[in-house]
Structure 1
Amino acid sequence: MASENPLLSPPSLPYGLPDYAAIRPEHYLPAFEAAFAEHSAEISRITRVRSMPTFDNTMVPLEESGRLLGDVARTFYTVSSADATDAIQEIEETLAPLMSAHQDSIQLDAHLYWRIKTLHEQLDSLENLTPEQRYLVERHYREMSHAGAGVDDEAKARLTEINQRLSSLTTTFEKNLLADTNDLAVTFDSAEELDGLADGQLSATAQAAADRGLGGTWVVTLPLFTGHPYLASLTNRESRRRIMDASRSRGSRGNSNDNSAVLLEIVRLRAERAALLGYDSHAAYITSDETAGSPAAVHELLRRLAVPAAENARREQAALQEIIDAEEAPFALEAHDWAFYTEKVRQAEFDLDTAALRPWFEAERVLQQGVFRAATELYGVTFTERGDLSAYHPDARVFEIHNPDGSALGLFILDLYTRDTKRGGAWMNSIVLQSRLRGTDPIVVNNLNVSKPAAGEPTLLTLDEVTTLFHEFGHALHGLFATVTYPHFAGTNVFRDFVEFPSQVNEMWIYWPEILAGYATHFETGEPLPADVVETLTSTETFNQGFGTSEYLAASWIDQAWHSLTQEQAADDLDVAAFEASALTDIGLDNPAVPTRYSSTYFAHVFSGGYSAGYYSYIWSEVLDADTVEWFRANGGLTRENGDRFRQRLLGVGGSKDPLEAFRDFRGRDAEIEPLLKRRGLAA
């Protein structure tokens, strides 16, 4: 089989990069079947050892096991999220329950659990273990206990059934969302309906139409979040309404892509699983193994921020309404008007039109002279594009990264553009994990969903897209810099409510003077972004933060509301829209003009991604982020000394250390919330 299936052959490309050119869809399932069998055999060899458990006869072979499965899985799931053709989606649906069943067979294995539990009970007497080895025992014991390895056989059987069903449901949710997002792309018959868009944006809509065989029209594809960046520019109110309505109706139209029943079953099964494991709710189950510790801690933070955020949003709304009331035909502000009139306020108050800044944010220059240069200045790493290496799609570019001493660090893959086969949003994932034990170096991927202009046209980014590029590269640096012995701790394998911290810190370099001056130059004239514009950008950090904070908190609260339901409360006949409305009223974020960033039926983060009961993690991590930015500013900013400290004490430890302990090691104390309140305009 290995001679016929490239997934089962030893890697032939640098760093173990999969030979995607040779991999065909029919290779995946046989490779998974072989990998499942190999992993099961490896675990069996550990549990058949007759001698008492030791670190060397239990933990080391456990960390060495599953290598083939991990390689095949990361290869496949990179493609299934970024280039999900019909064939790939079919494989994913078949694979979901198989993968879940296999994972449960390991995590719930009573013999393996006994060995790890025995080691855990002896930790105090095992003086020869390194801190990383001690933490490895603690985490495996905690994770297996958390998964249910300690419950009785009847409960394990039901857990396995639930997990398999959930894996299928979350795959269905994502498939429905991708289909509905494509189906609901908004077609316009004339360019006049899109008045206000820049030439590059109009070119992208024409290209999207051509890609669908709709030449002579203009198609606006939808991002993952509620709304669209174009809403800030479109002068035609009906066009804005059509885009917003399409965005908000995804997954809830009563057709074959309706996600309502899917998410209700997900919620019910998650609640049942939590009860089986001894928790009141899925939120209690999830947060028990995060830095937050409990839903109560999460709710306290969200409620503390919601009141001033909602007040700020109402003040912003009143200012927008004043502008509308002064027009010839005034009307009541609605959600699809907010971005457009916010830009009017921005221009009036700050003489700043963010849409007009796009010519200064040409994508290649932002990447090379912004994102990469900041990393070079801070960490000393260098980047070389490897045109000789191909990734999984022609749009995905491969870069090799070297350390300051010239040694190889790993590969970085950037997949910038949107397409119908790519799920929405932006994310980082790993293809190969770094591990001293296995002798592997990392390969990480960044995916964005930037509209691709017609051939020959420059890719001009919005300010939000620039932010996303820096943000996702922060995740990439975390995945690249984590230097651990055991693969369990590799890359971004940290608590979910800590994982966003490094990515948010990396956003600080967007406005750092020497970095901004390097990348923010006009793509035609080469002129730098005017100094007064730069000053305005840096002085308007809290502008429109009432809206921005409210829409985020609303989504976080919806996530908490669904996943705080007990098993008795989580019923399949709940009205999704009514439940969501009630949750927003409860926290005071029920302003119709400020819609939640994600509504339930297209909330991929929590119903098909890894953020269930954890979407709060962005704001939770931002407490650490804002405090860290204060530290950088107080200690000289963009210096190699600061970068080395951040890399060695925080990014470099990966998951091999309690994340809050790593933060204290870097910062010298626990984080304080005041910098976040100031940043978000909530301090008063």
Structure 2
Amino acid sequence: MTDALKGGAAALVLAATAACGAPETTTPEAEAASSQSELPEITVTDAELEGNPFRAEWTGAYGAPPFAQITDAHYMPAVKKGILEMRAEIDAIVNTEEEPTFENTILALEKSGKALERVMLVFGNITNTDTNDALTALEGEIYPMLTREQDAVTFNPELFARVQAVYDQRDRLGLDEQEARLLELTHRNFVRAGASLAPEVQAEIGQLNAEISALTTTYGQNLLNATNAFKLEITDPARLGGLSDDFKNAIKVDGEDKWVVGISRSFFEGFMASAEDRELRSQLFDGYRTVASSGEFDNGPLAIKLAQLRAKRAELMGYPSHAHYVLEERMAHTPDAALEFLGKVLEPGLARAAEEEADMETIAGHEILGHDWWFYSEKVRAEKYAFDENQLRPYFELGASTDGAFEVASRLFNITLEEVPVEAWNPAVKSYDVKDSESGEHLGLLMIDNFARDTKRGGAWMSTYRSSSDMDGNTIRPIITNNMNLVPPAAGQPALLSPTEVETLFHEFGHGLHGLLTQIRYPSFSGVYGGPDYVELPSQIMEHWVTEPQVLAMYARHHETGEIIPQELVDKMNKASTFNQGFKTTEYIAASLIDLHWHMLSSEEAAEITDAREFEKSVLAQYNIPEIIEPRYRSTYFSHIFAGGYAAGYYSYLWAEILDADGFDAFKQSGDIFNPEVAAKLKQWVFESGGLRETDELYRNFRGSDPGIEPLLRNRGFAEPSPAEG
């Protein structure tokens, strides 16, 4: 998953991209500001800014933020000053007597808001990785301020008139490809944000945006609070049967005879797959699937309200639903196309899931319930393949696995990654200087934060601390961060990963490379750009190298003996690679269907929804999703779509799998997983090109044709392998 805030005011205010996983960056106030003059007054004194790190040059290594100097009190004054400076920059564009040109309008807009961007990149990242009550309160103040500024720019008629004037003469300006693309995207963003609508419609959209901004903030905070509030406490060591020593050590409370399990995904899946105590599995399962669904942190009413507001806003924008608005620019283009695609994969997934359920009931000797699936699927795996994932952990040490990902990138893209000492936001963070192997050119800084903690949001993601740009001969390379939530090892012990966690490591590193390798000069479409159905391609294609024998030999060594993972284990792992895919496919598609149906509602249909759980049940029943398979995310804890940027887009991970499976097939068919010609095209058209062209065209430039679904079905075990894979 990616979280990115990119570019100047043009991107900050117009791109509708959530800032580092923050709420939708839309209007915060009940009254939409339609021009700069209508904005409320903001004041900040020199005394308030004195000694503020955001107002000084950052002279540390690689230009990284001086984290030790930044306190919670520095954010608000720096945000206010940044807003005032951006307002002045917008005023200068609007009030010039010069005729609109690319330089004085489009490029000036791209350069605006840099001081604000600087502070918000840090704020957005820190509130995701090391939050506290003060920062949570600041989110409720700062994001409304930002979203107010968004409407002020979007609905500024004089500014849009200048953008339109430049756009109208685009064929006569002699722009190069990147300049022309910046103009095209800037104009498109204005239009899609509502700049061409009547003032009274803009005002109504602003009111809707106000509520959306507030609700997405509250939704995310509710989820974090509810997640931290649930703890499964175990005081009887006899009930720990099946758990590994490493896992037991990780959940042991210091100084007490007590073990505590939370519901972050890494802890949840580890416990559910291994714990022999069925009652405890049931308790954790219920805690996970009902989180934030009742009481003080109930997100059900918020999900309903967000769906209603988005539906109404889409209607005002001239679209049948929010999904129609969102998907217009995605590779699927329409909700019907997305649903049709999901159906093609769901059908074999359901059939396989039924077979898996039958296999488990044979072993269990009783009916399987939802909280049994992980546990008994491991029993089936052991019986069918004589294979237990825990056998692999000693060969997947975190440091070695990271080195393996780096070596793959080095061979594919001719880069080096060297660990360097850089001040970070947490002592656990490691930093790497990324360089071009041949020229030695610095490409960017990668900062990796791997371990779970209570102050950190769940999941895994890539984000940005500094955007890449190359304007006016001033080259700025990016600072990228990868984040995971691995179970911290006991003191003095190595961090040993499951194969799934290694895949996640490679996945997020793929996102990181997408941000690091960019060769686009304008921040608005450099690095990670495009809808999630495309931006998951660079991450997901990297997963294919994880279990290739040639790659395993590079990094999969026993953490104590140094022995390369035995071929016998590799064979078992490969034979079991499509195991449980019926379940995995069904739980994922179930969540994707919930997302799409929430956002396919018309405003009238959305107004009739009163119970989020009942709405979900009705959706799942349409597609015959068995009750035993819980959707990967329910509405009350679906932060991707209700507190992030994946609304009407969660299907994108599977859509991108068409691309990554087809893309990796190019390497397999060539007979060389590091084929330099294929790798060069992948680097040029996927990892370096950002949003230079439409995503369909970028993929065709890499692959030579549109992708087919067959490699995806083969990867999931729903079709026979190709001769090259056999």
Report the Cα offset of residue 639 of structure 1: 4.1
Residue 288 of structure 1 pairs with residue 328 of structure 2: yes
Residue 417 of structure 1 pairs with residue 451 of structure 2: yes
Please point out which of 97, 101, 112 is paired with 1:50: 97
Contact persistence 2:266–2:487 (CA under 8 A) = no
Q: Residue in 1 aligned with 2:185?
A: 139
Indicate the larger mover: 103-112 or 402-411: 103-112
Provide the secondary structure at the position in 1 that maps to 2:484.
Answer: strand
Contact persistence 2:532–2:653 (CA under 8 A) = no
Distance in structure 2 (CA, Å) of the matches to 1:459 and 1:379: 28
Map residues 312-391 of structure 1 onto 2, 5 A cutoff. Answer: 312-325=352-365, 331-368=366-403, 370-387=404-421, 389-391=422-424
Provide the secondary structure at the position in 2 that maps to 1:568.
Answer: helix
Provide the secondary structure at the position in 1 that maps to 2:604.
Answer: coil
The one-letter amino acid paired with 1:45 is A
Distance in structure 2 (CA, Å) of the matches to 1:226 and 1:219: 10
The one-letter amino acid paired with 2:397 is E
Contact persistence 1:200–1:459 (CA under 8 A) = no
Provide the secondary structure at the position in 2 that maps to 1:498.
Answer: helix
Distance in structure 2 (CA, Å) of the matches to 1:221 and 1:517: 35
Q: Residue in 1 aligned with 2:214?
A: 168
Report the Cα offset of residue 393 of structure 1: 1.5
Report the Cα offset of residue 120 of structure 1: 2.2
Contact persistence 2:267–2:487 (CA under 8 A) = no
Report the Cα offset of residue 227 of structure 1: 4.9
Can you list the C-alpha shifts for 1:641-682, whole angstroms capped at 9, x where unaligned?
433321112210111221111111111111111111211233
Distance in structure 2 (CA, Å) of the matches to 1:572 and 1:33: 40
Distance in structure 1 (CA, Å) of the matches to 2:583 and 2:268: 13
Please point out which of 398, 422, 425 is paired with 1:392: 425
Can you list the C-alpha shifts for 1:143-185, whole angstroms capped at 9, x where unaligned?
1111111111111122222222212211111111111111112
Residue 268 of structure 1 pairs with residue 308 of structure 2: yes
Q: Residue in 1 aligned with 2:632?
A: 597
Contact persistence 1:261–1:572 (CA under 8 A) = no
Can you list the C-alpha shifts for 1:578-630, whole angstroms capped at 9, x where unaligned?
100110111222x1221100011000100101100110111111111110010
Map residues 610-621 of structure 1 onto 2, 5 A cutoff. Answer: 610-621=645-656
Q: Residue in 1 aligned with 2:231?
A: 185
Distance in structure 2 (CA, Å) of the matches to 1:536 and 1:116: 59
Report the Cα offset of residue 555 of structure 1: 0.4
Provide the secondary structure at the position in 1 that maps to 2:68.
Answer: coil
Provide the secondary structure at the position in 1 that maps to 2:533.
Answer: coil
Contact persistence 2:269–2:374 (CA under 8 A) = no
Q: Residue in 1 aligned with 2:8?
A: none
Distance in structure 1 (CA, Å) of the matches to 2:685 and 2:642: 34
Q: Residue in 1 aligned with 2:477?
A: 441
Indicate the larger mover: 167-176 or 154-163: 154-163
Structure 1 consecutive aligned stretches of length 4 or more whose deviation exceeds 6 Å: none
Distance in structure 2 (CA, Å) of the matches to 1:541 and 1:463: 10
Contact persistence 1:226–1:596 (CA under 8 A) = no
Please point out which of 219, 233, 243 is paired with 1:197: 243
Report the Cα offset of residue 640 of structure 1: 4.2
Can you list the C-alpha shifts for 1:443-469, whole angstroms capped at 9, x where unaligned?
101110001122112111111111110
Distance in structure 2 (CA, Å) of the matches to 1:564 and 1:585: 17
Contact persistence 1:409–1:442 (CA under 8 A) = yes
Residue 552 of structure 1 pairs with residue 588 of structure 2: yes
The one-letter amino acid paired with 2:468 is Q
Distance in structure 2 (CA, Å) of the matches to 1:674 and 1:554: 21
Report the Cα offset of residue 225 of structure 1: 8.7
Can you list the C-alpha shifts for 1:465-514, whole angstroms capped at 9, x where unaligned?
11110000000000001111111112102223211011000001101223
The one-letter amino acid paired with 1:500 is E
Q: Residue in 2 aligned with 1:300?
A: 340
Distance in structure 1 (CA, Å) of the matches to 2:608 and 2:622: 22
Q: 1:572 to 1:364 in 2, by over 3 A?
A: farther
Provide the secondary structure at the position in 2 that maps to 1:222.
Answer: coil
Provide the secondary structure at the position in 2 that maps to 1:309.
Answer: helix
Report the Cα offset of residue 260 of structure 1: 1.1
Structure 2 residue ranges without an equivalent (≥5):
1-45, 721-726
Distance in structure 2 (CA, Å) of the matches to 1:145 and 1:421: 39
Residue 248 of structure 1 pairs with residue 289 of structure 2: yes
Q: Residue in 2 aligned with 1:568?
A: 604
Q: 1:678 to 1:632 in 2, by over 3 A?
A: same
Contact persistence 1:224–1:424 (CA under 8 A) = yes
Report the Cα offset of residue 572 of structure 1: 7.1
Indicate the larger mover: 21-30 or 214-223: 214-223
Provide the secondary structure at the position in 2 that maps to 1:264.
Answer: helix
Q: Residue in 2 aligned with 1:328?
A: none
Can you list the C-alpha shifts for 1:238-280, whole angstroms capped at 9, x where unaligned?
1211111111110112x11111111111111111111111111
Distance in structure 2 (CA, Å) of the matches to 1:335 and 1:398: 41
Report the Cα offset of residue 134 of structure 1: 1.4
Report the Cα offset of residue 304 of structure 1: 2.0
Can you list the C-alpha shifts for 1:350-371, whole angstroms capped at 9, x where unaligned?
1110123211111111112x11
Indicate the larger mover: 137-146 or 416-425: 137-146
Residue 458 of structure 1 pairs with residue 458 of structure 2: no
Distance in structure 1 (CA, Å) of the matches to 2:476 and 2:418: 20
Residue 679 of structure 1 pairs with residue 726 of structure 2: no
The one-letter amino acid paired with 2:708 is E
Report the Cα offset of residue 549 of structure 1: 0.6
Provide the secondary structure at the position in 1 that maps to 2:392.
Answer: helix
Q: Residue in 1 aligned with 2:271?
A: 230
Please point out which of 57, 65, 72 is paired with 2:119: 72
Distance in structure 1 (CA, Å) of the matches to 2:238 and 2:546: 34
Report the Cα offset of residue 226 of structure 1: 11
Can you list the C-alpha shifts for 1:317-355, whole angstroms capped at 9, x where unaligned?
111111112xxxxx3101111111111111111111012
Contact persistence 2:381–2:576 (CA under 8 A) = no
Distance in structure 1 (CA, Å) of the matches to 2:190 and 2:240: 54
Q: Residue in 2 aligned with 1:660?
A: 696
Provide the secondary structure at the position in 1 that maps to 2:100.
Answer: coil
Provide the secondary structure at the position in 2 that maps to 1:21.
Answer: helix
Q: Residue in 2 aligned with 1:35?
A: 82
Q: 1:681 to 1:514 in 2, by over 3 A?
A: closer
Distance in structure 1 (CA, Å) of the matches to 2:232 and 2:154: 45
Indicate the larger mover: 624-633 or 45-54: 45-54
Structure 1 residue ranges without an equivalent (≥5):
326-330
Contact persistence 1:401–1:408 (CA under 8 A) = yes
Provide the secondary structure at the position in 2 that maps to 1:415.
Answer: strand
Please point out which of 660, 674, 687 is paired with 1:625: 660
Contact persistence 1:251–1:258 (CA under 8 A) = yes
Q: Residue in 2 aligned with 1:537?
A: 573
Distance in structure 1 (CA, Å) of the matches to 2:99 and 2:377: 67
Question: TM-score, structure 2 length as denominator?
Answer: 0.90
Distance in structure 2 (CA, Å) of the matches to 1:181 and 1:25: 24
Q: Residue in 2 aligned with 1:499?
A: 535
Report the Cα offset of residue 224 of structure 1: 4.7
Indicate the larger mover: 141-150 or 48-57: 48-57
Report the Cα offset of residue 288 of structure 1: 1.2
Contact persistence 2:661–2:715 (CA under 8 A) = yes
CA RMSD in angstroms comes to: 1.6
Provide the secondary structure at the position in 2 that maps to 1:430.
Answer: strand
Indicate the larger mover: 659-668 or 529-538: 529-538
Distance in structure 1 (CA, Å) of the matches to 2:199 and 2:241: 64
The one-letter amino acid paired with 2:101 is T
Contact persistence 1:307–1:588 (CA under 8 A) = no
Distance in structure 1 (CA, Å) of the matches to 2:201 and 2:488: 50
Distance in structure 2 (CA, Å) of the matches to 1:44 and 1:216: 64
Question: TM-score, structure 1 length as denominator?
Answer: 0.95
Provide the secondary structure at the position in 2 that maps to 1:401.
Answer: strand
Contact persistence 1:227–1:336 (CA under 8 A) = no
The number of residue pairs the alignment matches comes to: 669
